[in-house]
Amino acid sequence: SIKTKTGMPTMKQDMGGAAAVLCAFEAAVEGGGLPDCALHAVLCIAENSVSPDATRPDDIHTMYSGRTVEINNTDAEGRLVLADGVAYACRHLNPKRIITAATLTGAQMIATGQLHAGIFCNSDSLEGATVAAGKSCGDLCFPLVFAPELHRKEFASSVADMKNSVADRNNAQSSCAATFIYDHLAPDYSGEFLHVDLAGPAAFKGSDRGTGFGVALLLALHGKL
Amino acid symbol at 73 = N
In degrees, rounded to 5, the angle at the alpha carbon of residue 130 between the alpha carbons of residues 46 and 28 is: 65
Question: Do you know the residue count of the chain?
Answer: 225
Choose, from 5, 79, 209, 224, the residue flagged as catalytic: 79
Q: Which residues pair with 102 in a beta bridge?
A: 197
Choose, from 3, 135, 153, 169, the residue flagged as catalytic: 3
- Please state, in angstroms and rounded to a whole number, the distance separating the CA atoms of residues 128 and 126: 5
- 67 included as an active-site residue: no
- 3 included as an active-site residue: yes
For residue 197, what are the CA distances in angstroms to 26, 95, 125, 152, 177? 21, 21, 19, 18, 10
Active-site residue numbers?
A: 3, 79
